[in-house]
Structure 1
Amino acid sequence: MLCRRGARLMWAVLALGVTQILGYGALYYAFPILVPHVAATFEQPETVLYVVFSVGLLLGGFTAPVLGRAMDRFGAPRVMVWGSAAVALALIGVALAPVFWLWAGAVLLIEAISVAVLYDAAFAALVRLRGPGARRDITRLTLIAGFASTLFWPLTTALVDLWGWRGAYAAFAVLHGGIALPLHLWLARVPPEVEDATAPKPRAPEFPPLPPALRQPAFIAVAASFALSGALIAGFGVHMVPILTAVGLGTQAVAVGMLVGPAQVSIRLIDALFWRGLHPVSVALVSGLALPVAVLGLLAGLPVLVAGAGFAMLFGVGQGLASIVRGSVPLALFGSVGYGARLGNLALLRTLASAGAPAGMAALIAVLGVQGALWAALWLGLVAVLPLIWLRLVMARAGVLAPVL
């Protein structure tokens, strides 16, 4: 029975991995490929479409706390079921929209409810199934979901060539309704480990919980660090290729930027295989420090190809770990009770900080130049890790965490 239970949980991770690939692929990575075609159809500037998308992301930040509380109350898999159905219907609305404003309304709806089907919901579903010992499953899930861009960039291009952008959105609706929805329905029927009669006792937390007196300041520290790092990731995510071009890589910038993906997958694999005993706060420190170190490489006067490749790989390390620690750090510090609501509150703060980051980075480049913008990003990255350094020192002093990584 225990072996059967373990196999069922393994299939649950794989199922969530598939739905995350579909979710991030269709709702995020496909968008920039579809934008030129949609803009041409509705005779709108591409910038306007990106504004709609950004507003949708901001709406998703505001709905995240509400959806997080719903996950705690009803179970994340159930929320993911109706989320998949709603996303599939909204994608059909996008595909059939006869005018721009109906298209924009459907896109806003998709992004507003996307929290119900993406990482935060998937992490909450794993915590429901595994309890406090879900950290490894979170890492495994992000390792699978890391292939979303690799799969959906060429898939979206092929769908547009075959059926146009409307056909691509219709295909995404079929994928969500025909694959993601049934998988989430199945997950909703998988009993939590703590309710399984074959399990002798609930899975214990992997790390000592925080004392009650530390919980509020710890949450503030985590929220501040994740929000600032998220803003840095969002800014560079949009402007990476132009910045690499400006520092001297020229036409090689795109090829160098492609190193981000392999670095993301590699660091997640390292975390899954070798960092099982490392506290998630320490992993968050590695993630946070990777970003300013990446920027420092561009400012250090190294050969441009070495500096650019180092920047792309370190940025991939920081971004790859950031997806893991957004789920594992709250679980380790605060436990599984109220986990969904806590993720929702963190998502709101992270989204508020990240929403204006691409525009802010563009403004810095325009006013200070690329070098000045890089110096500003370096200081922002260093400030972002200060709350985690403080938290780690406090935890070590309280005996919750060893004084070394």
Structure 2
Amino acid sequence: MPHKLPLVAALGFTQIIGYGTIYYAFPILAPAVAQEFGVSEPFLFGLFSVGLLLGGFAAPVLGGMLDRVGAGRVMTAGSLGMALLLTLLAFSPNIYVFGGLTILIELFSFAVLYDAAFAMLAQKRPEDTRKSITRLTLIAGFASTIFWPLSGFLVEDLGWRGTQLVFAAAHILCAGLHFRATALPVAKAPASPTGASLRSQPPSPPVMSTALALRAFQLLAAGFALTGMAISALTVHLVEILRSLDIGEAAYIAAMVMGPAQVVVRVMDATVWRNRHPLFVAILSSGAILVAIMLLLLPGPAPAVAFGFAAILGAGAGLSSIVRGAVPVALFGASGLGLRLGRLAAIRNVLGAASPFLFAWAAAAWSMTWALGAVLVVSVTGLGALALLHRTLERLGIVPPLRSPHARQGLSP
């Protein structure tokens, strides 16, 4: 027990830094970068999308390394690499160097973000992986709340180049934390076969035929990828979407609601839904994204719509971060988790790489409403894939019915 909270706290801190610097800061710094290099902001988001796309191809390779050499070593090397790339980015002489470095950062981001952290928790905390994942995401849920205003403050005070140097220094600190986590022992389950200790053991993953396991993985990958596309487009452009509601500076305040909403819904996962199968939570996550988009497209008072949209989007995104690690373990087991997460990330990134760029392009070429309508279609399809997966597995008795509130299948809470 003494090592559990330090490990989760350390990874929570590094995930805040990772997502804050690699993901959430990008749209805040983009206007200053675009102005200096004389390019459009959609062009910069295109570079971002190319990096996500190539990162998808790299994810299975990096995921396999998580299994072979250990997640801690991969994350340590990844943080040092991010520090170097961000330092070089700060001294970019032209848009070509900036673009190449931006692509490399996204290419290797898998090594320092959630998937790698989930693999480390599965390796170091195999007896309570889901609980550890929930605790980790509770902490990391503040990344957007912290880094949207922090990035704006830094870019105004230090410029975008100085801001990247600050980010590079933060990743050096992350490397130290990842290195220390590598040395932590694997947590062992209690030796005494008491009733309490037996109940604390995670149930074995269901036994599926090869064909069924392949179909389940395909549906899961499609559901995660399509929902991820919607989340990516909406979160990268969140401030822009809220500004389109003409609520002035309140758009920034509404955007900050997303972080606390992520934390609140993760508390609910740890309490209200702790005995539910992770696939049930995945469906809730995808459904929340759909509801958030529909709220924007329906008429209503702009301030209420803005805050409601940010809160529901935050809830869906918050649960999405948990289930992308918890569901694969519940359905397929912890063995080979790194490679499996890498393959899921590959499909998610390849399908979702273009979403920030396409959303920006659609909003500029047509309207924000058309762009949101396209995201709505993607979201509905993703929810359908997850619902079909649950229906398939429920018929075979592998997962409990959605209406069953106390069925303990999959990971132990």
Both proteins in one fold, TM over 0.5: yes
Note closer, same or farther for the CA distance 1:295–1:64 as it changes in structure 2 (3 Å cut): same
Question: After the TM superposition, which of the residue ranges 306-315 and 235-244 deviates more from structure 2?
Answer: 235-244
Contact 2:50–2:354 (8 Å) recurs in 1? no
Note closer, same or farther for the CA distance 1:181–1:200 as it changes in structure 2 (3 Å cut): farther
Once residues 360 and 137 of structure 2 are traced to their aligned partners in structure 1, the CA distance between those partners, rounded to angstroms, is 30
Give the AA of the match of 1:19. Answer: T
Once residues 126 and 85 of structure 1 are traced to their aligned partners in structure 2, the CA distance between those partners, rounded to angstroms, is 20
Alignment of 1:64-75 (within 5 A): 64-75=59-70
Contact 2:124–2:187 (8 Å) recurs in 1? yes
Deviations 1:233-268 (Å, cap 9, x if unpaired)?
Answer: 122224445545556757654443443222222111
* Superposed displacement of residue 334, structure 1: 0.7
Question: After the TM superposition, which of the residue ranges 281-290 and 375-384 deviates more from structure 2?
Answer: 375-384
Note closer, same or farther for the CA distance 1:301–1:52 as it changes in structure 2 (3 Å cut): closer
* Superposed displacement of residue 322, structure 1: 0.8
Give the AA of the match of 1:150. Answer: T
Aligned to 2:97: 102
Question: After the TM superposition, which of the residue ranges 198-207 and 295-304 deviates more from structure 2?
Answer: 198-207
Pick the aligned partner of 1:52 from 41, 47, 50: 47
Give the AA of the match of 2:12. Answer: G
Give the AA of the match of 2:25. Answer: A
Question: After the TM superposition, which of the residue ranges 166-175 and 293-302 deviates more from structure 2?
Answer: 293-302
Aligned to 2:78: 83
Give RMSD over aligned pairs.
2.7
Q: Does 1:18 align with 2:25?
A: no
Alignment of 1:258-297 (within 5 A): 258-297=256-295
Q: Does 1:181 align with 2:175?
A: yes
Pick the aligned partner of 1:378 from 376, 379, 382: 376
Number of aligned positions between the proteins: 397
| Gaps in structure 1 of 5+ consecutive residues | 1-5
Alignment of 1:355-374 (within 5 A): 355-362=353-360, 364-365=362-363, 369-374=367-372
Aligned to 2:88: 93
Note closer, same or farther for the CA distance 1:21–1:371 as it changes in structure 2 (3 Å cut): closer
Contact 1:133–1:206 (8 Å) recurs in 2? no
Question: After the TM superposition, which of the residue ranges 96-105 and 269-278 deviates more from structure 2?
Answer: 96-105
Give the AA of the match of 2:265. Answer: I
Contact 1:132–1:331 (8 Å) recurs in 2? no
Contact 2:46–2:354 (8 Å) recurs in 1? no
Once residues 44 and 302 of structure 1 are traced to their aligned partners in structure 2, the CA distance between those partners, rounded to angstroms, is 36
Q: Does 1:209 align with 2:206?
A: yes
Contact 1:281–1:392 (8 Å) recurs in 2? yes
Greater percentage in helix = 1
Aligned to 2:410: none
Contact 1:143–1:268 (8 Å) recurs in 2? yes
Aligned to 1:138: 133
Aligned to 1:353: 351
Contact 1:88–1:176 (8 Å) recurs in 2? yes
Matched-pair identity in %: 45
What is the TM-score normalised by the length of structure 1? 0.88
Question: After the TM superposition, which of the residue ranges 7-16 and 41-50 deviates more from structure 2?
Answer: 41-50
What is the TM-score normalised by the length of structure 2? 0.87
Pick the aligned partner of 2:163 from 163, 168, 171: 168
Deviations 1:195-223 (Å, cap 9, x if unpaired)?
Answer: x8x75699743464242343111101110
Give the AA of the match of 2:185. Answer: P
Give the AA of the match of 2:208. Answer: P
